[in-house]
Amino acid sequence: MYPRPGAGHVPVLRLGDILLVTLQGDLYDSTAQQLQQDLSETIVSAGVTGVVIDISGVEIVDSFLGRVLAEIAAQASLLAARTVVAGMRPAVAITLVELGLTLPGLRTALDTQAAMALLEQPVVLSHAGGTRRERA
C-alpha cells in the first residue's frame, strides 16, 4: 500500500495563521517537490506566519527527508514564516543524528499541539543560549 511515485499529494491544511502538513510513509522526489511548491504558494497567498510539519507517521527516514525538511524551513523563513517539525519518533531522531543531520536551523516540538503553542509565542531571538536563571 505504498503511494505510487508521482501520485502522492500531501494535503496542506490551513488553521488560522498556521499551515499544517502531515507526512506519512515514504516521501518521493515528486511529492516533495510538489509539497514545497504548494507550501510556498500558500504561505504567500494566505499570509500565514507558521508552518507545522507533523512527521509522527514517518517510521523510516533517510538523508533525503532530512534535506527536504531543512529546505522547507529555509524557504518558509525567507517568506517570514516559522517552521516547526513535530512528533519525530526516537528511532528517526537517532537515525538522523547518526547520519550527521542535526538540522540546526529547525524548530522542533513533541507534537502538533506543542508546535502550535510554540508558534503562538512571540519570536525569541536567542533560542539556544537561554538566560541563566539568577538566584534571588
Partner 1 sequence: MPHGSGASLEWSSGRVTAPFHGPVRYRYGNDDEETQVPEHEAGGPLGTPTLEVRDFLRRRREQIAQRWADEPLFRAVFTLSRDEAVEAGKAVVDALAQVADARRAEDSDAAGFTGVREQLARMSTSRSRAGLSLAQVSNELAALWPPVDNLLAAELAERPVEELRACTTTLSTLMGTLRVVAVQTALSEGQALIDRQRLQLLEVATPVIRLWDGIVAVPLIGTLDSARSQVVMETLLNAVVDQHARFAILDITGVPTVDSLVAQHLMKTVAAARLMGAECVVSGIRPAIAQTMVHLGLDLGSVLTRASLADALGYCLHELGVAVSSPAAGGAGHR
12 binds partner 1 (CB under 8 A): no
Under the binding rule (CB under 8 A), the answer on residue 88 touching partner 1 is yes
98 binds partner 1 (CB under 8 A): yes
Q: How far is the CB of 95 from partner 1 (least distance, A)?
A: 9
Please, are residues 43 and 12 in contact by the beta-carbon 8 Å criterion?
no
Could you tell me which residues are beta bridge partners of residue 129? none
Q: What is the DSSP string of 23-56?
A: EES---HHHHHHHHHHHHHHHHHHT-SEEEEEEE
Q: Which residues pair with 108 in a beta bridge?
A: 85
129 lies in the binding site for partner 1 (CB under 8 A): yes
Q: How far is the CB of 135 from partner 1 (least distance, A)?
A: 5
Alpha carbon of residue 16 to chain centroid: 17
Which stretch in 7-15, 20-28, 31-39, 126-134 sits in contact with partner 1 by CB under 8 A? 126-134
Is 60 a binding residue for partner 1 by CB under 8 A? The answer is no
Q: Does 133 bind partner 1 (CB under 8 A)?
A: yes
Residue 64 CA to chain centroid, in angstroms? 14
Neighbouring residues of 121: CB distance < 8 A, sequence distance ≥ 6? none
Which residues contact partner 1 by CB under 8 A? Answer: 85-90, 92-94, 96-98, 102-104, 106, 108-111, 114-115, 128-130, 132-133, 135-136
